[in-house]
Structure 1
Amino acid sequence: MSLNRILTVVFLTLILALSGTQSAYAEDGAIVSREAYDFPFATYEKWLEFSDRAPDPAWHAAQMKQLVPQQDYERYASNQTVQAERIEYLSDGLRIKSILVRPAKVIKPLPIILFAHGGVAQWGKITFFEILEFHRLAEQGYIVVASTFRGEGGSEGWPNLGVGDRADLMNLIKMAQGLPEADEEKIGLWGFSRGAGLGYRVLAVTDIIDAAFFIGARTDHLNSKRRAEFDEFVYPDVVDAYAADKDAALRPLSPLFWPEKLSTKTPIYLLHGTADQRVEAWNSIAMARKLDALNRPYELLLINGGSHYLIEHQQRVRQEMDRWFAKHLKLQGS
């Protein structure tokens, strides 16, 4: 084989090797793929039919019609006013799947809202209803970004309730700040359930969040009424060093034990249903008392009889969320 032939083979082999490992040479927060997001239901009626199969009647078509009228759904799906994309970005070298929804026309840098989803491991996901809410917020002039954390929803890696999911959220911030249409100095954080608990851990390591809105957050994992259930089925697989010392492993996940570490600059809205059977309302009540004692900016709303998801009170949730983010993320007169 000639020298030129050998060099050509070596060169092509090198190119193939590099193309298969390109993510290893990119920084965390870098976007490695993006494509248009297509609604999973062909029609509005198909989505309503799917909704009627939910075990909880609060999610059935009658409620969904009230929350997302057909004209809104079809406008979102057609990309008339907003555009949605599937994006993969890097976090600790892992490809993390995410959703980005923004206004179709951008004439000035826009505030960012990060969403941190509920559930963990096989239960960790972003629901389609939440994606519809991203569209609603994007129509108001926000860029909304959300990721399914490592090991969940097709993201690479193993689920991790700790340094792993926090790194994924911090790198989501980095990714969002790099978007040319984003105002990197205006960032809101909306967290639900596990995602709200993660939000507290993010506020312990950064002052970059301008407003946080937490729904149904567990602030004390040690004294949860579901501790035995999670001890058996959840924590051993997703919490680092859990077997060695269970309480010691759960304390860093429980902001009730370290409220003084939270950013002094970030106002926090705590929202909880009093009938929440998954995360007891005392988690937010106790946290509010800690924040009050530290003279930190916060608001607390308890919705009487509200469930964990608060879907039966979604209009009130929207009202409070919209007010909170408009107050803290938008300029006067914008």
Structure 2
Amino acid sequence: MKVRYLTLFLVFSFCFSHTQNGKIISKEVYKLHDTIMSRLKGNEHILEVLDKVKFSKIIYLSDGLRVTGYISEPKKEGVYPCIIANRGGNREFGAWNPYGIAFFLGEMASWNYVVVASQYRGNDGGEGQEEFGGKDVNDVLNLIPLLKELPNADTSRIGIEGGSRGGMMTYLALKRTCDFKAAAVVAGAADSFTNITSRPEMEKYVYSELIPNYFENKEKELKTRSAIFWADEMCKTTPLLILHGSADWRVLPTESMTLVNKLYEAKHPTRFILFEGADHGIREYRSEVFAQVKRHFDYYVRDLGKLPNMEPHGR
């Protein structure tokens, strides 16, 4: 009898924690420190952006864990389409910081979108530990029900974007849901085997430290995090914009090029731009990157544009 009650309790606890996914536990105004603002004084564009948007720091539930995230949204009242933004890096490296929040989350919110972003479990004071593309993918997907709590968010129009490791998280999300109207990826990690070959330190200090039982299940875990092996499983009603710099050494551009060929074979709506001589963040062409991402989201997310015909056609 005790075993039965214990089983029922565990089942109830599991179901309850999952029904709470995306629930906002706390939300507070996030203000950029005066020292940050003083450094931005000479940048007229970002000052115009910051005049249009506001930020919040949040704690939300994901698999029963309290996870830290951020919201960037227009100050003007209204109902807006949404973007889920996925950070790169691991642990505190590459985490959302005041500059990233201002320059990236603020920029996208200034396009009249509600933007939400996770630090992933275990970071910035959050509970648990990230798995570099394991259970922490739920921290991304649980932003979908979170958006439903926001009165100014139109959850029938959601896009998703990410850079580097955030690109990998974006691909993994597209493998699990068709909720997104469009996706954009900058220098996305798509082949973990190539990554650990070109950068052995990634295996030593990231993969082996964050992925549970990594060495016992190495090939399986690397394939799980490599979109080139399951490109045909990503949702085909989510058109992809993939951008990469040809001089990127952190994530080799061949990772995106190989993935694009796989997506072409799968007839997945994809636009690929290789920026000549650009680094990992495509900093040499940042304004063009923003323009391309905005055009992509405005057409497919904001305006619900028609998907292209991927079958051979024309004269």
Give the structure-1-normalised TM-score.
Answer: 0.81
CA distance change for structure 1 residues 75 and 217 in 2, over 3 Å: closer, same or farther? closer
Q: Among residues 19, 25, 37, which one is paired with 2:30 in the alignment? A: 37
In the TM superposition, residue 293 of structure 1 has moved relative to its aligned partner by 0.9
Aligned equivalent of 1:84:
55
- Are 2:194 and 1:188 aligned? no
Q: Is the 8 A contact 2:36 2:98 kept in 1?
A: no
Aligned equivalent of 2:218:
246
Aligned equivalent of 2:128:
157
Which residues in structure 2 correspond to 1:181-330 (within 5 Å)?
A: 181-224=152-195, 225-330=197-302
Residue by residue over 1:121-180, the C-alpha shift from the partner in whole angstroms, topping out at 9 and shown as x without a partner, is 232401333312322222221001111001122221112123322010011122013311
- Please give the alpha-carbon distance, in whole angstroms, between the structure 2 residues aligned to 1:168 and 1:195: 12
- Please give the alpha-carbon distance, in whole angstroms, between the structure 2 residues aligned to 1:25 and 1:311: 39
Residue by residue over 1:223-249, the C-alpha shift from the partner in whole angstroms, topping out at 9 and shown as x without a partner, is 223352222111112113212121121
CA distance change for structure 1 residues 139 and 236 in 2, over 3 Å: closer, same or farther? same
Aligned equivalent of 1:56:
none
SS of match in other structure, 2:83: strand
Aligned equivalent of 1:73:
47
Aligned equivalent of 1:62:
none
- Please give the alpha-carbon distance, in whole angstroms, between the structure 2 residues aligned to 1:140 and 1:233: 37
- Superposed CA RMSD in Å reads 2.1
Residue by residue over 1:273-321, the C-alpha shift from the partner in whole angstroms, topping out at 9 and shown as x without a partner, is 0000100001111111111111110100000000001122111111111
In the TM superposition, residue 47 of structure 1 has moved relative to its aligned partner by 5.0
Give the structure-2-normalised TM-score.
Answer: 0.85
In the TM superposition, residue 210 of structure 1 has moved relative to its aligned partner by 0.7
State the percentage of identical aligned residues: 30
- Please give the alpha-carbon distance, in whole angstroms, between the structure 1 residues aligned to 2:148 and 2:283: 31
Q: Is the 8 A contact 2:194 2:255 kept in 1?
A: no
Gaps of 5+ in 1: 1-22, 49-64
Q: Which amino acid aligns with 1:104?
A: K
Aligned length: 288
Q: Is the 8 A contact 1:269 1:300 kept in 2?
A: yes
Aligned equivalent of 2:80:
110
Gaps of 5+ in 2: 1-15, 306-315
Q: Is the 8 A contact 1:150 1:168 kept in 2?
A: yes
CA distance change for structure 1 residues 72 and 216 in 2, over 3 Å: closer, same or farther? closer
Q: Among residues 86, 92, 98, which one is paired with 1:128 in the alignment? A: 98
- Please give the alpha-carbon distance, in whole angstroms, between the structure 1 residues aligned to 2:252 and 2:273: 14
In the TM superposition, residue 25 of structure 1 has moved relative to its aligned partner by 10
- Please give the alpha-carbon distance, in whole angstroms, between the structure 2 residues aligned to 1:286 and 1:74: 39
SS of match in other structure, 1:164: coil
CA distance change for structure 1 residues 332 and 208 in 2, over 3 Å: closer, same or farther? closer
SS of match in other structure, 1:287: helix
- Please give the alpha-carbon distance, in whole angstroms, between the structure 1 residues aligned to 2:19 and 2:179: 23
In the TM superposition, residue 40 of structure 1 has moved relative to its aligned partner by 2.6
Q: Between 23-32 and 289-298, report the one with greater CA deviation.
A: 23-32
Q: Among residues 81, 84, 89, which one is paired with 1:119 in the alignment? A: 89
Residue by residue over 1:80-133, the C-alpha shift from the partner in whole angstroms, topping out at 9 and shown as x without a partner, is 5322111110001111111111111223x2100110000012324013333123
In the TM superposition, residue 197 of structure 1 has moved relative to its aligned partner by 0.7
- Please give the alpha-carbon distance, in whole angstroms, between the structure 2 residues aligned to 1:194 and 1:185: 26
SS of match in other structure, 2:180: coil
CA distance change for structure 1 residues 272 and 75 in 2, over 3 Å: closer, same or farther? closer
